A and B are shown apart, each in its own frame.
Chain A
Amino acid sequence: MNVIKRNLRELRRYPSAVIGLIVILFLLGMSAYTVIKIPYNEAVRLWRGGEDIWVENPKNAWPVWYNWLSSTKLPETLVVDSRTDVEKIIEQTSADIREENFTFTIDFPYDEFPPEMILYINAEYEEKAPFISMTWLTPDGREIRVGDITPRSSDSYRFAQDTRLQRRLGGLPAEQGLFAAPDSDPPVPLKGTYQLQIEGLVFEDNSSFETKLVMYGDVHGLAGTDHRRRDLTVALLWGTPIAMAFGLLAAVGTTVTTMAIAAIGVWFGGALDSAIQRITEVNLILPLLPILIMIGTFYSRSIWVMLGVVILLSIFGAAIKNYRAIFLQVRVLPYIEAAQAYGASNLRVVFTYLVPRVLPLIIPNLVILVPGFVFLEASLAVLGLGDPVLPTWGKIIQDANSQGALFNGYYYWILEPSVLLMIAGLAFAMVGYALDRIFNPRLREL
């Protein structure tokens, strides 16, 4: 154990290892934060949720930091709600008609048109629905009549689908026509403050209506959104603990079991040893990835089932032969004989004398294995065999790939999970290689 401690202290001499360690600690911290902040069930609910949860998010929006980097500013999502954001002017014009007027104010300092605009309406009435008419005021003082609605109890008005509005705007789609500077061709947005005046007529005493205007943006949140309006932050955050857990559990599970089996085989020898050898050889013929794909296609895509299979198939890997060769050397050392002489049991010899001797060799191995398993999870996800419930980095890549993100230019969608994967993989690899050199003096000078 002292050897291990001393060698770990030596890690400080390697700058790459220090950076790697910091990154690993950061990722672990991020995992802990995520698991506490967004509990498992909440994450699954959010990720599986459809329009009901994400209705106010735009589709395929870039992350907000795009605007910080780029000179053309893309519109951000803007939500104004009549319940909270406006002052209503209510006037009883006659016995059974009440006027409710209010104005939504929209700041628009952007260089591109918004992709989508929707007015969500909730109306309460018994027989006669309220009547709503809308007028659009541009910064340069033009007034455009938008349209009239007699809403059902829960309704939405999509500006783009109003063909009469489109005709009034000279054939331009509503999102462009409303924001376009006059006489611009091709249309360019006019910056400034827009207003949507809403005049409602309510015909019953207990009747009322509320509206919410959502101007969808081209950028949204720290990570952007995907084709189902989901905020990628959730998946990027939750991908961290999953990647860490998968990588670490698989690496530890594989290495420790392999070592234990090799030690037992070497110590007991004979039929047991050769059985282990033969199993390893058979296992080497079995192709790991196709078997994982078969398991994913036929049985279960649960990430934990996959983890179990990966460990199971990797236990009898080539590593067993390496460990075996080392144990063969250790077995004949005098201190083992001494242990036998004082009457140590077989298992005691294996686990207190044989195994600890090899531990220093195992630690770098273990760390170097981690990125491989992290990427294995991503590989399975890219093939469409990711866990159906959980959001992971690999699943984001798969979603993006299947939606043609690269072809359509949604680069953030692929880049974000890839960069995280790369960072995680590199961190473990850098620490692993440094450990390798420290624990294996033969390599140290090379």
Chain B
Amino acid sequence: MRRQRIAPTVNRPEGRGTPSLAPPGILAAASAASGDLLRHGPIKTQRLRPRAGGPREGALSVQQQGGGILAQESFTLQDTNIIGTEAIESASRKAASAAMVRLFRYMGVKLVALFLTIVVGVYLTILIANMGGYVDQIRRAQIREGIDLFVSRNPDLRQLSEEERIRFIEEQVALAEKRVGLDQPFLFRSFRYLADALTLNLGFAEQLVSDSGSRQVRLVILERLPSTLVLFGTANLLLFFLAIFSALALSRRYGSFMDKVVMALAPTSAAPGWFYGLFLILIFAGVLRLLPFGGMVEAPPPADPLAYGVSLLEHMALPVTATLLSAIFISIYNWRTFFLIFSSEDYVEMAKAKGLPDKMIERRYVLRPTLPNIITSFALLLISLWTGAIILETVFNWPGLGRLYFRAIGLYDTPVIVAITVVYAYLLGFTVFLLDFIYALVDPRVRVGEGGTGR
């Protein structure tokens, strides 16, 4: 029954002058500042249904979903052409080998384009993180101060005359500056930084030291990675699967009480996770004293692995709940709307008319065509784990990558800032590249490489 009600409205948009690209409910998923998933939250692709009659180009658009600004767009999609529904099988062998050539050319072009994007993005980050060279002055001052202090404290050097001492300090400063490369102009160095960053030669941190005492950026970062992964991995995976399965259930019971409740609650996702975190700390740590205020394990960390695990879980409970609270309703809302749009397709009606069981319809006719979007969303969720969540980690005092990033910025520690950014850029580029092929695997209508990148 309801399908019939939906169908006309869905088919109408062209005539209404409201381009029917994407439901901006998804399109504009709120919360620019859900600090955590700030720009890299899960993303959702929305295919313009051929029926809507728009030109094929631009047939794809991507929206972020679930507590992100409509930030991300994947590079993939703009270049992927949808070739109606004609079957690929009809291609002859000759065409197949031509297709292979085309495929490789396409892959090459795409890789180069992605790489250039990453290069420019990373270079901009290097410029910003060095304040266009101003950080050098800070560093020079720090070096000079350190050497001054060293000289004034060293009894052996006290006997030197004023002149000699000044000369000694100058020599030492020059040496130290040369050692960290400050004797070369910033512009020149910025390109060396770029080359180092792109080859993932992450180098040494300026200020930060890993707990094991190493200055290697790689170690500093790797040390923080597990704590971020365990917290945000749990939170985001829970969020993702909970949202998808609840959305499926709701789209089945469209219009039910639960459905209405979720829709009414969707605006609460305007607030970011750390904000709910404050309330949770207030209630569970402040008033009830049930759970800890922050941190990752109790101090000192329990030696017994079981006790350690329990303590870890206790500390994780609040931040995970905060993340869930801030994003779950909008995610369910968006996925639900998305599934509903797909379940009002003609072929779904057809399947219903044939009398197929609901489960099968769901699996074959609703989930299958939405699979590319689910995969995109999931992939971007995975890489969003890399940056952690700066504010949530700050509020909960969680020793993750987000806090490391924040501290690195506070200490002008550019190698660490650049390292985190460049790894993220690579992960993003790689995922986007990979997704293109996964689309082709899961959706026969998408054919990679057809028509190249030109538009």
Contact = CB atoms under 8 A, between A and B. Distances in A.
Partners in one complex: yes
Interface of A: 3, 16, 250, 277-278, 280-291, 293-295, 297-299, 310, 314, 317-319, 321-322, 324-326, 328-330, 332, 357-358, 360-361, 364-365, 368-369, 371-379, 382-383, 397, 401, 406-407, 409, 411, 414-415, 418, 421-422, 425-426, 428-430, 432-433, 436-437, 439-446
A411 B73 contact: no
B242 interface: no
Nearest to A371: B270
Nearest to B48: A325
B391 A368 contact: no
Contacts of A374: 33
A317 B62 CA distance: 11
A371 B34 CA distance: 10
A290 B409 contact: yes
Given A325-B58, A441-B13, A442-B9, A375 B31 contact: yes
B293 interface: yes
Interface stretch (B197-205, B261-269, B301-309): B261-269
A35 to B, nearest CB: 24
A288 B57 contact: no
A44 B113 CA distance: 50
B421 interface: yes
B387 interface: yes
A297 B409 contact: yes
A318 B23 contact: no
Nearest to B281: A406
A281 B71 CA distance: 10
Nearest to B10: A442
B19 A330 contact: yes
Contacts of B97: none
Interface string B332-363: 00000100110000000000000000000000
Given A425-B271, A429-B30, A319 B35 contact: no
Interface in B75-121: 75, 78, 117-118, 120-121
Interface string B18-30: 1111111101111
B25 A371 contact: no
Contacts of A437: 25
Contacts of A414: 278, 282
B69 A369 contact: yes
Interface stretch (B128-136, B155-163, B182-190, B208-216): B128-136
A379 B125 contact: no
B16 A372 contact: no
Interface pairs A-B: 7 shortest CB-CB = A372-B32, A376-B33, A285-B121, A429-B267, A371-B270, A325-B58, A429-B270
B390 A293 contact: yes
Contacts of A365: 24, 27-28
A289 B402 CA distance: 11
Given A328-B58, A383-B390, A426 B274 contact: no
Contacts of B341: 442, 446
Given A285-B122, A285-B428, A414-B278, 17 more contacts: A16-B264, A281-B75, A284-B71, A285-B421, A287-B387, A290-B417, A318-B62, A319-B27, A325-B21, A328-B54, A329-B21, A329-B58, A368-B30, A372-B31, A406-B282, A418-B275, A440-B24
Interface in B31-70: 31-35, 38-40, 48, 54-55, 57-64, 69-70
B82 to A, nearest CB: 13
B78 A277 contact: yes
Contacts of B27: 319, 322, 365
A375 B390 contact: no
Interface of B: 5-6, 9-10, 12-13, 16-25, 27-35, 38-40, 48, 54-55, 57-64, 69-73, 75, 78, 117-118, 120-122, 124-125, 128-129, 131, 134-135, 254, 264, 266-272, 274-275, 278-279, 281-282, 285-287, 293, 337, 340-341, 387, 390-391, 394-395, 405-406, 409-410, 412, 417, 421, 424-425, 428-429
A364 B125 contact: no
B394 A383 contact: yes
Contact of B406 (A277, A286, A383): A383
A284 B72 contact: yes
A195 to B, nearest CB: 39
Contacts of A286: 121, 124-125, 421
A442 B57 contact: no
Contacts of B391: 289, 379, 382-383
Given A425-B270, A432-B30, A443-B25, A284 B39 contact: yes
A321 B69 contact: no
Given A314-B32, A372-B30, A441-B9, A280 B24 contact: no
A102 B452 CA distance: 95
Nearest to A16: B264
A377 B31 CA distance: 12
Contacts of B71: 284, 288, 317-318
Contacts of A291: 125, 128
Given A383-B391, A411-B286, A421-B275, A440 B18 contact: yes
B39 A287 contact: yes
Contacts of A415: 282
Contacts of B34: 372, 375
Contacts of B54: 325, 328-329
Nearest to B20: A442
Contacts of A428: 270
A388 to B, nearest CB: 16
B121 A433 contact: no
A369 B34 CA distance: 11
Nearest to B15: A441
B30 A371 contact: yes
A286 to B, nearest CB: 6
Given A280-B73, A286-B121, A358-B19, A379 B35 contact: yes
Given A290-B417, A409-B286, A441-B13, A369 B32 contact: yes
Given A286-B125, A290-B390, A441 B16 contact: yes
Contact of A322 (B9, B12, B61, B69): B61
28 contacts: A280-B73, A285-B117, A285-B429, A287-B387, A289-B391, A298-B135, A298-B412, A314-B32, A317-B70, A318-B63, A318-B69, A318-B72, A319-B27, A322-B21, A324-B58, A326-B19, A329-B54, A364-B28, A369-B28, A372-B30, A372-B69, A379-B35, A379-B391, A411-B286, A414-B278, A418-B279, A425-B270, A442-B20
Contacts of A322: 21-22, 27, 61, 63, 70
A428 B30 CA distance: 10
Nearest to A313: B39
A185 B454 CA distance: 87
A135 to B, nearest CB: 43
B268 A426 contact: yes
